[in-house]
Chain A
Amino acid sequence: MNFLNAILLAGAAAFLIPLIIHLLNKRRVQTVRWGAMHLLHQALQQRKRNIKVEQLLLLLTRIAIPILLALCLARPVLSFLRQFPGLNKTSLVVVLDNSFSMRAPSDQGTLSDKMRSELRQILEKLPNGSDVSVVLAGNPPRLLLDAPTVALEAITKKLETEPCLAGPFALNDALQLANAELKRMSGASREVLLLSDFQQSDWKNIADGGSVAALDTILKSEPKPLLTFYRGAGELEENLALASVEPSAFVIAREQSIALRVRILNHGKRAYQDIAVHLEADGARLRTTRVSVAPNAETLLTLNQAFDTAGDHAITVRVEGDAFPEDNAYSLVIPVREQVNCLLVKGGSDLGPLSGATDFLEISLAPHQSASTSLKDVIRTSTTDYRQIREKFLDGVEVVMLANVERLNGRQLPDLEEFVKRGGGLIVFVGPDCNSTWYEKEFFRDGKSLFPCFFKGFGHVETGQTPARILNQRHTHPATTYFNDARGLKLQDAAFQHWAKFEKIEGETRSILNLDRGDSLMVEKPFGKGRVIAVATTANAQWNNLPLQPVFVPLMQRIVTYLATQSAAPQSQSCGSMLRASLAKDQGKEAFVLTDPLNETHELKPITDKEGNVYVDYAITQNPGLYELRASTAAKTSAPKRFAFNLNPSESDLTLLSTGKVHDMATRLSASFAENNDDYTRLDRSRRHGTEVWQLLLFALIAFLFLEVFLQQRISRA
């Protein structure tokens, strides 16, 4: 038993007062030599109760009152009660930050080791029978164990093997998961314990006064759980991080060079001079470059690389000279193809050079071919008139582009639908010859056919007015993200005089580019395994000057290669996301082996879904680096399928919120704050147990006061 205000326990000595009065009274007994003893005897006989016992009870009551009062004020904590199952048992949901910033060094190994050890101590002190669930809060949040458990050793054991490499702390999602867990738990006394390093990048918005919806939900639930913010601080604030490597293309041709834009961030006050940046391809180091990074600054460098053989090639860029190595590498998978075949279908009529609907497309997709240079294009184009396309025209083609096509006839549309369903890509440019009625009735067909939306009217710019431009916004579509930071290549340079007004952009259809007049310029819709992109203007300079801009070439190439590689694995994924490898239909019964970045192998079995697609899934992708998938029967030298997983760069900034800020934030969010185990133990005592015993004692005190009055009255009536 412990006391929170132990000094007030001295008040219990007041019990001596009634005792001394009683003893003095007894000691000062007078002797009465009495005559009327028979009356006294009679009075004593008439009394049925034992006054002596009652007086002893009264004395004990009077002694107990000051003791109870002192105990009440001293706030005792009956820790031994926690040993009995069912008494004081708690339901604890631990929201544990497992973002990789927790790997920063601390006084006990990494910060993550330290927090786990402190969590173990907290779990050990929990009353028997308490159930615990652990939510790993790094993005994406997930449960450590499938269900809350009372076997706390299982949690400790599982935590030991759990890597701490997740993305940024996802507070809201983690708390939603915690709330769902609380509902599954049985204890009336509930607590949510949030262990984190309170990294500034994760918490800044909330520390600055932002609200957390899931937290409000938790705090409104009944019985209201206790919430504790437990802050663990690492000892490192300096960190050099390789934030990203952006390739210039989704897919390249054999021997075609790809430009890799490497972004190195320095989160700290120390300048790094001439640090080595290594480029590795397929596990072999190719070359090393040296760069300098100023404090709190970023450095961009571009590396070029070409591959001799077709297939998926892995590239890893690595930076050296840093005490926190987790975020010093970045991997990518670059698909290298012999070529990507693109069929250009033109509508309208040629009136002169570069006036055909697909003329600009031909040049932009295969510039070297057009210029008859010796350099290699990955995209090979072939052009045909829409009226001349025949059966099997789609054989060997990966992307089809329709430009200013009036309408499709006969089997053309069903064949094209089948082509996209199988995974092909389709790009449709609207033009003056397009039959809008056919586009709406047949090509759109209430969203059931290929065209992503329908158009009725046209937007145009009157003479003298400023032309429409592409809306300047942050691009999120994979085909356009490159233009967020493409120096010298500005989409906004293009001017549009005429365009179709797309309507009914709903369901899975989404807009890729918008005009500043509020209309969509480019929309995309998935169809079967493939995708369709519709562009609201012409592919030549008839309605706009986009084809005349330098940005047109990379834009078209990226869209085509995006569509050509859409069914392939992404070049890079975030750690923790699902690894899914599509397989050929005949591979459904083969066994596969996945080698992870730690060089451990995992046997995987393909899954076949209802539609007959065959794939393998692997979820434990916390470790950053390259994962290689091979059929178990294949030779080790055969080219594997490669998958690159990288950590979220926002975790690299190791700047933490100060204790004061976390404390203020905790106070604002109705949470308690602890910074070490002693803090937590003190909190735990006062909140969970002290109050309860204090209340019991108060009830007992009131009961004893009543008992004292009752006994006093009863004895005086005797």
Chain B
Amino acid sequence: MAKLSDLLPAEDLLQLSGLPLFARTVMEGFSTGLHASPNKGASVEFRQHRPYVQGDEIKRLDWKIFGRSDRFYIREYDEETNLRATLLLDASGSMNYQGSKGVKKFEHARKLAAALAYVLTGQQDAVGLVTFDSKVREFIPCRTKTSHLHNVLETLLKTEPGAETSLAAVLQNLASRIKKRGLLMLMTDGFDDVGELLQAIGVLRKRGHEIIVFQIWDRDELEFPFSRWARFENLENFEDFQMLDPAAIRQRYLQALEQFRSALTEGLSKHQVDLVPIVTDEPLAHAVKSYLALRMRR
């Protein structure tokens, strides 16, 4: 079983902790913080005036304008709310792949999740964790407490990759379970039907969630460097295997890969979802940092 120190290596934490994670869309939260809240009035940041309509609270009338213009206006304020970030970790069998370079995809994703949880907790954001394969395996709702972080990390540690993926079904399922809008950070290889996956993402987006997809890749999956005859066994289903000469199929594989990635990228960008490819042989902090830098610029 992985140790906590393996999950949160000091150098990764050092690099990530200086980078605040901003939600791009407006978040609902229960403590004022770094993130703007859609709830108006509970803050000191003035936003706008608007004409009074029946039903508005009387206490929100701007009496000074009424005194000057004899009209009823309501004063509206922006509220800064804390971020509700849910880490969705794919623990399906395909995440168990370990290529010739780097570590297991799942290990990498788990480290990423742990690091993000640590950073978010550090900036007073609420962090939740969902691990899943074909169904949701663990569901930890969002909390801000430091002790909650411990919970999250414990869960991450004990999670091992297992059965087949059913990413779309899981996301559909989560849409009903995560009621409050927040940031969903999905760590997966995305090996599912692209259409169904995008449909599920669309549902989540309609519910107001912001989604970042960290797509975990092994270098082998991107380059298919095999040359000798090989028996490819499905990590999620051992009965499914292919005996082939990899050199003979490499071009076709790379084409299929390209199609898959472009379909996913296009579909996600339509839903305004960021797709961050993470390759297991690259340092974790490097990929996340470059993504966050890009995000802050926008």
Contact = CB atoms under 8 A, between A and B. Distances in A.
Contacts of B257: 36, 39
A439 B34 CA distance: 157
A51 B235 contact: no
Nearest to A46: B252
B249 A35 contact: no
A51 B243 contact: no
A42 B94 CA distance: 16
Given A44-B249, A47-B249, A55-B245, A32 B231 contact: yes
Nearest to A54: B248
Given A46-B255, A55-B248, A37 B228 contact: no
Nearest to B240: A37
A39 B248 contact: no
A718 interface: yes
A677 B20 CA distance: 103
Contacts of B154: none
A51 B105 contact: no
B69 interface: no
Most chain-B Cβ atoms within 10 A of its Cβ — which of A33, A38, A44? A33
Nearest to A38: B191
| Contact count band on B | 35 or more
A716 B246 CA distance: 10
Contacts of A30: 226, 228-231
A29 interface: yes
B233 A51 contact: no
B28 interface: no
A37 B191 CA distance: 9
B248 A716 contact: yes
A486 interface: no
A33 B238 CA distance: 9
Given A25-B229, A46-B256, A35 B248 contact: no
A392 interface: no
Contacts of B233: 31-34
A24 B260 CA distance: 35
Contacts of A34: 97, 232-235
B249 A51 contact: yes
Given A34-B97, A36-B257, A718 B235 contact: no
A487 interface: no
A40 to B, nearest CB: 6
A29 B243 contact: yes
B253 A39 contact: yes
A28 B259 CA distance: 32
B240 A28 contact: no
B48 interface: no
A43 B260 CA distance: 11
A173 B236 CA distance: 94
Contacts of B191: 35-36, 38
Contacts of A28: 228-229
A40 B240 CA distance: 11
Contacts of B249: 40, 43-44, 47, 51, 718
A154 to B, nearest CB: 64
B228 A29 contact: yes
Contacts of B4: none
B96 interface: yes
A3 B253 CA distance: 49
B228 A35 contact: no
A96 B281 CA distance: 90
A40 B242 contact: yes
Nearest to B165: A35
A47 B259 CA distance: 15
A46 B259 CA distance: 12
Given A35-B96, A35-B97, A718-B251, A43 B256 contact: yes
B253 A40 contact: yes
Contacts of A25: 228-229
A718 B257 CA distance: 15
A43 B253 contact: yes
A32 B236 CA distance: 13
Given A26-B229, A30-B231, A32-B233, A43 B252 contact: yes
Contact of B248 (A32, A36, A718): A718
Contacts of B243: 29
Contacts of A718: 248-249, 251-252
B252 to A, nearest CB: 4
A703 interface: no
A356 to B, nearest CB: 123
Contacts of B242: 37, 40-41, 44
A289 B75 CA distance: 171
A35 to B, nearest CB: 3
Contacts of B253: 39-40, 43
B232 A32 contact: yes
Contacts of A35: 93-97, 105, 189, 191, 218, 221, 235-236
Interface in B197-248: 218, 221, 226, 228-236, 240, 242-245, 247-248
A197 to B, nearest CB: 70
Interface string A444-480: 0000000000000000000000000000000000000
B100 to A, nearest CB: 10
Contacts of B256: 39-40, 42-43, 46
B115 to A, nearest CB: 23
Contacts of B251: 717-718
A28 B244 CA distance: 12
A660 to B, nearest CB: 64
Most chain-A Cβ atoms within 10 A of its Cβ — which of B228, B232, B255? B232
A7 to B, nearest CB: 37
A715 interface: yes
Given A43-B252, A46-B256, A51 B221 contact: no
A30 B245 CA distance: 11
Most chain-A Cβ atoms within 10 A of its Cβ — which of B97, B243, B256? B256
Interface string B55-76: 0000000000000000000000
Interface in A14-64: 25-26, 28-44, 46-47, 51, 55
Contacts of A716: 247-248
B248 A51 contact: yes
A37 B248 contact: no
Given A35-B94, A716-B247, A47 B252 contact: yes
A28 B243 CA distance: 12
Interface in B124-176: none
A33 B97 contact: yes
A29 B241 CA distance: 13
A33 B255 contact: no
Interface in B79-110: 93-97, 105
Contacts of A46: 252, 255-256
B156 to A, nearest CB: 20
A37 B236 CA distance: 9
13 contacts: A28-B229, A31-B233, A32-B232, A33-B96, A33-B97, A34-B97, A35-B189, A40-B256, A43-B252, A43-B253, A51-B248, A51-B249, A715-B248
Given A28-B229, A715-B245, 11 more contacts: A29-B230, A31-B230, A33-B97, A35-B96, A37-B242, A40-B232, A42-B260, A43-B253, A43-B256, A44-B252, A46-B255
Interface of A: 25-26, 28-44, 46-47, 51, 55, 715-718
Interface of B: 93-97, 105, 189, 191, 218, 221, 226, 228-236, 240, 242-245, 247-249, 251-253, 255-257, 259-260
List of 9 A-B pairs having minimum Cβ-Cβ separation, nearest first: A35-B94, A43-B252, A35-B97, A42-B256, A43-B253, A34-B232, A37-B234, A29-B229, A39-B256
